[in-house]
Structure 1
Amino acid sequence: MSSLDEFFDNQQQHIDRFGWAVTAVLPFTGETDTHIAYTVGLTEHDVPELVIAGLEPHIAHALLNDLARRVHDHAHRLTHGQQIDDLLLGYPAVIVEGPATEALHPGAAHARYGADRVRLQQIVWPDRQGRFPWDDGYEYPGYVQPLLGRP
Structure 2
Amino acid sequence: MYLDPQTTAWLDQEDAHLAAVIRAHRWAVQYVGAGDEPGQPAFGYTIGLFGLGHPELVVVGLDAWNAHGLLQPVAEQVADGRDVVPGERLSVGHGPGEVVVEVCPNPGEVVLGANRSYRRPAEHSVPAYQLAWPDHAGRYPWDVGWAGPPACQPRPGTWEA
TM-score (norm 2): 0.81
What is the correspondence of 1:2-151 to structure 2 with a 5 Å cutoff? 2-28=9-35, 33-72=40-79, 74-88=80-94, 91-100=97-106, 105-113=110-118, 114=120, 115=122, 116-148=124-156
Q: CA RMSD in A?
A: 2.2
Distance change in 2, residues 1:90/1:2 (3 Å):
closer
Percent identity over paired residues: 30
Q: Deviation digits for residues 4-61 of structure 1, max 9, x if unmatched?
A: 2211111110111111111000124686632100001111111000110111101111
Instruction: Indicate conservation of the 8 Å contact 1:43/1:117, yes or no.
Output: no
Which is greater in Rg? 2
> Tell me, which stretches of 5 or more residues in structure 2 are unaligned?
1-7
Between the two proteins, the alignment pairs up a number of residues equal to: 147
Distance change in 2, residues 1:101/1:75 (3 Å):
closer
Q: Which amino acid aligns with 2:97?
A: Y
Distance change in 2, residues 1:51/1:126 (3 Å):
same
1:89: Cα distance to partner?
5.0
Instruction: Indicate conservation of the 8 Å contact 1:40/1:108, yes or no.
Output: yes
Q: Which amino acid aligns with 2:114?
A: A
> Tell me, which stretches of 5 or more residues in structure 1 are unaligned?
none
TM-score (norm 1): 0.86
Rounded Cα–Cα distance in structure 2 between residues aligned with 1:58 and 1:100? 25
Distance change in 2, residues 1:43/1:55 (3 Å):
same
